[in-house]
Amino acid sequence: MAESTSSPVFDAQKVTVVYVLGGPGAGKGTQCSKLVDAFGFCHLSAGDLLREEQNREGSEYGEMIRTYIREGTIVPSHVTMKLLENAMTGEMKKKTGDGWVDGKGRFLIDGFPRKLDQAIGFDETVCLASLVIFFNTSEDVMLQRLLERAKTSGREDDNVETIRKRFRTYNEQTMPVIEHYRTLNKVAEIDSTAAVEEVYRAACATVTNLFS
Protein backbone atom coordinates (compact mmCIF):
# COMPACT_ATOMS: atom_id res chain seq x y z
CA MET A 1 0.00 0.00 0.00
CA ALA A 2 1.38 3.40 -0.94
CA GLU A 3 2.07 5.75 1.93
CA SER A 4 -0.72 8.22 2.46
CA THR A 5 0.10 11.90 2.62
CA SER A 6 -3.50 12.98 3.19
CA SER A 7 -5.23 13.12 6.56
CA PRO A 8 -7.92 10.60 7.57
CA VAL A 9 -11.46 11.02 6.21
CA PHE A 10 -12.84 11.45 9.75
CA ASP A 11 -11.42 13.61 12.57
CA ALA A 12 -10.77 11.45 15.65
CA GLN A 13 -11.47 14.51 17.82
CA LYS A 14 -15.09 14.30 16.67
CA VAL A 15 -15.56 10.71 15.56
CA THR A 16 -14.90 7.97 18.11
CA VAL A 17 -13.91 4.59 16.70
CA VAL A 18 -13.78 1.63 19.07
CA TYR A 19 -12.51 -1.63 17.61
CA VAL A 20 -14.06 -4.76 19.07
CA LEU A 21 -11.72 -7.73 18.68
CA GLY A 22 -11.64 -11.32 19.85
CA GLY A 23 -11.55 -14.75 18.29
CA PRO A 24 -14.48 -16.24 16.36
CA GLY A 25 -17.20 -16.93 18.94
CA ALA A 26 -15.69 -14.68 21.64
CA GLY A 27 -19.02 -12.85 21.96
CA LYS A 28 -18.26 -9.67 20.01
CA GLY A 29 -21.63 -9.33 18.28
CA THR A 30 -23.62 -10.01 21.45
CA GLN A 31 -21.76 -7.35 23.41
CA CYS A 32 -21.85 -4.82 20.57
CA SER A 33 -25.65 -4.93 20.38
CA LYS A 34 -25.87 -4.22 24.12
CA LEU A 35 -23.33 -1.37 23.97
CA VAL A 36 -25.22 0.22 21.06
CA ASP A 37 -28.34 0.47 23.22
CA ALA A 38 -26.45 1.90 26.18
CA PHE A 39 -24.17 4.44 24.48
CA GLY A 40 -25.77 5.31 21.13
CA PHE A 41 -23.02 3.73 19.05
CA CYS A 42 -23.42 2.71 15.45
CA HIS A 43 -22.31 -0.93 15.26
CA LEU A 44 -20.53 -1.90 12.06
CA SER A 45 -19.58 -5.54 11.60
CA ALA A 46 -16.86 -5.96 9.01
CA GLY A 47 -18.01 -9.55 8.46
CA ASP A 48 -21.63 -8.52 7.90
CA LEU A 49 -20.59 -5.81 5.44
CA LEU A 50 -18.49 -8.34 3.51
CA ARG A 51 -21.32 -10.89 3.46
CA GLU A 52 -23.77 -8.24 2.22
CA GLU A 53 -21.32 -7.21 -0.48
CA GLN A 54 -20.73 -10.78 -1.65
CA ASN A 55 -24.49 -11.18 -2.14
CA ARG A 56 -25.08 -7.76 -3.72
CA GLU A 57 -26.07 -8.09 -7.34
CA GLY A 58 -23.38 -6.72 -9.66
CA SER A 59 -20.68 -6.54 -6.97
CA GLU A 60 -17.19 -6.55 -8.44
CA TYR A 61 -15.89 -8.12 -5.21
CA GLY A 62 -18.60 -10.71 -4.57
CA GLU A 63 -16.92 -13.87 -5.84
CA MET A 64 -13.55 -12.91 -4.38
CA ILE A 65 -15.09 -12.27 -0.93
CA ARG A 66 -16.94 -15.61 -1.08
CA THR A 67 -13.67 -17.46 -1.74
CA TYR A 68 -11.81 -15.77 1.11
CA ILE A 69 -14.64 -16.39 3.60
CA ARG A 70 -14.92 -20.05 2.60
CA GLU A 71 -11.16 -20.51 3.12
CA GLY A 72 -11.29 -18.73 6.50
CA THR A 73 -8.72 -16.21 5.29
CA ILE A 74 -8.73 -12.41 5.34
CA VAL A 75 -10.28 -10.36 2.53
CA PRO A 76 -7.84 -7.77 1.05
CA SER A 77 -7.62 -4.66 3.21
CA HIS A 78 -8.65 -2.10 0.59
CA VAL A 79 -12.01 -3.86 0.10
CA THR A 80 -12.92 -4.03 3.78
CA MET A 81 -11.71 -0.49 4.51
CA LYS A 82 -13.76 0.96 1.64
CA LEU A 83 -16.92 -0.85 2.78
CA LEU A 84 -16.41 0.47 6.32
CA GLU A 85 -15.69 4.02 5.15
CA ASN A 86 -18.83 4.02 2.98
CA ALA A 87 -20.94 2.69 5.85
CA MET A 88 -19.57 5.33 8.25
CA THR A 89 -20.23 8.12 5.75
CA GLY A 90 -23.82 6.92 5.37
CA GLU A 91 -24.40 6.79 9.12
CA MET A 92 -22.86 10.23 9.71
CA LYS A 93 -25.42 11.68 7.29
CA LYS A 94 -28.48 10.13 8.89
CA LYS A 95 -27.89 9.44 12.60
CA THR A 96 -29.00 11.92 15.26
CA GLY A 97 -29.10 12.02 19.05
CA ASP A 98 -26.53 11.90 21.82
CA GLY A 99 -23.00 11.76 20.41
CA TRP A 100 -24.18 12.54 16.87
CA VAL A 101 -24.40 16.35 16.69
CA ASP A 102 -22.04 18.94 15.17
CA GLY A 103 -20.22 16.42 12.99
CA LYS A 104 -19.67 13.97 15.83
CA GLY A 105 -20.20 10.22 15.72
CA ARG A 106 -19.34 7.05 17.61
CA PHE A 107 -18.70 3.69 16.00
CA LEU A 108 -18.17 0.18 17.31
CA ILE A 109 -16.31 -1.69 14.59
CA ASP A 110 -16.55 -5.40 15.17
CA GLY A 111 -14.15 -7.96 13.68
CA PHE A 112 -11.77 -5.38 12.23
CA PRO A 113 -8.84 -4.77 11.89
CA ARG A 114 -7.81 -8.40 11.48
CA LYS A 115 -4.29 -7.66 10.18
CA LEU A 116 -1.70 -5.07 11.09
CA ASP A 117 -1.80 -3.42 7.66
CA GLN A 118 -5.57 -2.95 8.07
CA ALA A 119 -5.05 -1.33 11.47
CA ILE A 120 -2.39 1.09 10.25
CA GLY A 121 -4.20 1.78 6.96
CA PHE A 122 -7.52 2.56 8.65
CA ASP A 123 -5.91 4.75 11.32
CA GLU A 124 -4.05 6.73 8.66
CA THR A 125 -6.71 7.06 5.96
CA VAL A 126 -10.18 6.62 7.51
CA CYS A 127 -10.16 7.41 11.26
CA LEU A 128 -7.72 7.03 14.14
CA ALA A 129 -9.05 4.47 16.64
CA SER A 130 -9.61 5.61 20.22
CA LEU A 131 -9.80 2.18 21.89
CA VAL A 132 -9.65 -1.57 21.30
CA ILE A 133 -11.96 -3.77 23.37
CA PHE A 134 -10.44 -7.26 23.31
CA PHE A 135 -12.82 -10.05 24.32
CA ASN A 136 -10.59 -12.98 25.26
CA THR A 137 -11.55 -16.60 25.94
CA SER A 138 -10.31 -20.11 25.14
CA GLU A 139 -10.60 -21.85 21.77
CA ASP A 140 -12.68 -24.61 23.42
CA VAL A 141 -15.28 -22.07 24.57
CA MET A 142 -15.33 -20.36 21.16
CA LEU A 143 -15.67 -23.68 19.29
CA GLN A 144 -18.64 -24.78 21.41
CA ARG A 145 -20.36 -21.39 20.92
CA LEU A 146 -19.81 -21.49 17.14
CA LEU A 147 -21.09 -25.04 16.79
CA GLU A 148 -24.18 -24.05 18.77
CA ARG A 149 -24.66 -20.99 16.54
CA ALA A 150 -24.22 -23.14 13.42
CA LYS A 151 -27.51 -24.90 14.17
CA THR A 152 -29.41 -21.72 13.27
CA SER A 153 -27.01 -19.23 11.64
CA GLY A 154 -26.96 -20.55 8.07
CA ARG A 155 -23.43 -19.11 7.78
CA GLU A 156 -21.09 -20.86 5.35
CA ASP A 157 -18.14 -20.46 7.73
CA ASP A 158 -19.80 -22.06 10.79
CA ASN A 159 -18.37 -25.55 10.30
CA VAL A 160 -15.54 -27.26 12.18
CA GLU A 161 -13.04 -27.24 9.30
CA THR A 162 -13.48 -23.52 8.56
CA ILE A 163 -13.64 -22.66 12.28
CA ARG A 164 -10.22 -24.30 12.79
CA LYS A 165 -8.85 -22.27 9.87
CA ARG A 166 -10.34 -19.11 11.36
CA PHE A 167 -8.67 -19.79 14.72
CA ARG A 168 -5.32 -20.27 12.97
CA THR A 169 -5.74 -17.05 10.95
CA TYR A 170 -6.77 -15.18 14.09
CA ASN A 171 -3.74 -16.34 16.08
CA GLU A 172 -1.28 -15.62 13.28
CA GLN A 173 -2.64 -12.32 12.00
CA THR A 174 -5.02 -10.66 14.48
CA MET A 175 -3.07 -11.12 17.71
CA PRO A 176 -0.26 -8.86 16.35
CA VAL A 177 -2.92 -6.14 15.90
CA ILE A 178 -3.86 -6.40 19.57
CA GLU A 179 -0.18 -6.30 20.57
CA HIS A 180 0.31 -3.20 18.37
CA TYR A 181 -2.47 -1.31 20.15
CA ARG A 182 -1.29 -2.61 23.51
CA THR A 183 2.00 -0.74 22.97
CA LEU A 184 -0.12 2.40 22.40
CA ASN A 185 -2.05 1.79 25.66
CA LYS A 186 -5.30 1.49 23.72
CA VAL A 187 -6.35 -2.06 24.66
CA ALA A 188 -8.99 -2.96 27.26
CA GLU A 189 -8.93 -6.76 27.68
CA ILE A 190 -12.09 -8.41 28.99
CA ASP A 191 -12.48 -12.11 29.85
CA SER A 192 -15.52 -13.16 27.83
CA THR A 193 -15.70 -16.69 29.26
CA ALA A 194 -18.13 -15.44 31.91
CA ALA A 195 -21.91 -14.97 31.59
CA VAL A 196 -23.10 -12.35 29.06
CA GLU A 197 -24.26 -9.86 31.73
CA GLU A 198 -20.99 -10.08 33.65
CA VAL A 199 -18.98 -9.45 30.47
CA TYR A 200 -21.32 -6.58 29.60
CA ARG A 201 -20.75 -4.87 32.96
CA ALA A 202 -17.00 -4.91 32.32
CA ALA A 203 -17.49 -3.58 28.76
CA CYS A 204 -19.80 -0.83 30.03
CA ALA A 205 -17.23 0.32 32.58
CA THR A 206 -14.59 0.46 29.85
CA VAL A 207 -16.72 2.59 27.52
CA THR A 208 -17.90 4.85 30.34
CA ASN A 209 -14.25 5.49 31.17
CA LEU A 210 -13.52 6.37 27.52
CA PHE A 211 -16.27 9.00 27.38
CA SER A 212 -15.66 10.46 30.85
Which residue numbers belong to the known binding site for a ribonucleoside 5'-phosphate?
A: 51, 73-75, 111-114, 118, 155, 166
Backbone angles phi, psi at 95, to 5 degrees: -80, 145
Q: Give the annotated binding-site residues for ATP.
A: 25-30, 149, 194
CA–CA separation, 101 vs 40, rounded Å?
12
- Binding-site residues sit at 25-30, 51, 73-75, 111-114, 118, 149, 155, 166, 194
How does DSSP classify residue 101? S
Pairing assessment for the beta strands 42-45 and 105-110 based on DSSP bridges: parallel
H helix and E strand count, the chain: 9, 5
Each residue of 60-89: b (16+ CB within 10 Å) or e? ebeeebbebbeebebbebebbbebbbebbe
The three-state secondary structure class of 78 is helix
